[in-house]
Structure 1
Amino acid sequence: MGFYQFKRTQEIKTSVDEIWKFISDPSNLKLITPDYMGFDITSEDIPSQMYEGMIISYKVSPLLGIKTTWVTEITHLKKNSYFVDEQRVGPYRIWHHQHIVKPITNGTLMTDIVSYQPPLGFLGSIANELIIKGKLQEIFEYRTNALEEIF
């Protein structure tokens, strides 16, 4: 049963305030997620800014167009610095995603650290090597490009 970590950094030519305002609004996640994932927030009356303890439910199609429910909780948040979302219901055994922003010369350094464990023990480890790891790289590459276009 493998445990994995994926890390991505990106320099964005905007202020920490601007990028924070964007990434801490749950409705913007759809703008930086590939269309083929069929990403939709299913929570009702979602506020425009995250807060610790916030529960957000989604429908996503990560593989073969099969819709699945994904529920995350915002477990840690420090405005203009970081937030953490953790899966409560979904396809992974463990999903812990840190979103970190820091001011740098000419903009913001954004770092994503995803620590995860696929389901199904040994079979999940095989799936990670064959599918999951590449899919995460693809999704975050899309996100990088989308953020470059937006900012």
Structure 2
Amino acid sequence: MPRIELRTEIKATIETVFDLSRSIDLHKISTEQTNEEAIAGKTSGLIGLNESVTWRAKHFGIYQNLTSRITEFERPNYFADEMEQGAFQEFKHEHHFSVLNGETQMIDVFTYKSPFGVFGSLVDKLFLKKYMTKLLTQRNRIVKEFAESGKWKELLTK
């Protein structure tokens, strides 16, 4: 099963980074390039334990729906979301947070299984892992930008 692990250091409180990472509204901003929108479940605000969201987005020229649910939640240190329905056979996205040298360290661990058996493994190697890494890196860049600039107040103090 492919695994993507990303580490991001952010000059903001752990609580702010944790909440930005579970913000439906920030997710929409970070995925503008795929026209992602929340169409069912929790569609704005902060998602929490046992809540789900269905996203509609355009990937590889095709609109797709994907539903994920928050399955583990320990504020402000950790949460995980897992796919319930979508294009993957399965995925789990773990979000880890800790304070390190006065900054918040955010670690994403994304594991997934592609559909289509052996063909899916080939797709992973050819482009899917790189594509998913790029999406997650973009998301983390936006979390960092909002947390460090004070823009987070626009989303978390509504």
TM-score after normalising by structure 2: 0.86
Out of 30, 33, 45, the position equivalent to 1:32 is 30
The alignment partner of 2:26 has SS state of helix
Opposite residue 126 of structure 1, the aligned amino acid is L
RMSD: 1.5
Tell me the distance in 2 between the aligned counterparts of 1:18 and 1:60. Answer: 26
Out of 17, 20, 23, the position equivalent to 1:22 is 20
C-alpha distance after superposition, 1:3-46 (max 9, x if no partner): 1111101000101011122122222211222x221110002564
The alignment partner of 2:112 has SS state of strand
Matches within 5 A, 1:82-121: 82-121=78-117
Q: Which residue of 2 aligns with 1:49?
A: 46
Out of 60, 65, 86, the position equivalent to 2:57 is 60
Report percent identity of matched pairs: 18
Tell me the distance in 2 between the aligned counterparts of 1:31 and 1:47. Answer: 12
Q: Which residue of 2 aligns with 1:81?
A: 77
Opposite residue 102 of structure 2, the aligned amino acid is N
Aligned CA distance change for structure 1 residues 115 and 31 (closer, same or farther; 3 Å): same
- Structure 1 residue ranges, 4+ long, deviating more than 4 angstroms after superposition: none
1:106 to partner: Cα distance: 2.6
Tell me the distance in 2 between the aligned counterparts of 1:46 and 1:39. Answer: 11
1:137 to partner: Cα distance: 1.9
Contact 2:42 2:51 in 1 (8 A): no
Can you give the 5+ residue segments of structure 1 that lack an aligned partner in the other structure? none
Aligned CA distance change for structure 1 residues 125 and 25 (closer, same or farther; 3 Å): same
Q: Which residue of 2 aligns with 1:136?
A: 132
Contact 2:27 2:139 in 1 (8 A): no
C-alpha distance after superposition, 1:43-96 (max 9, x if no partner): 2564622222111111011212x1111000110001101111000111100110
Can you give the 5+ residue segments of structure 2 that lack an aligned partner in the other structure? 149-158
Aligned CA distance change for structure 1 residues 52 and 108 (closer, same or farther; 3 Å): same
Tell me the distance in 1 between the aligned counterparts of 2:42 and 2:15. Answer: 24
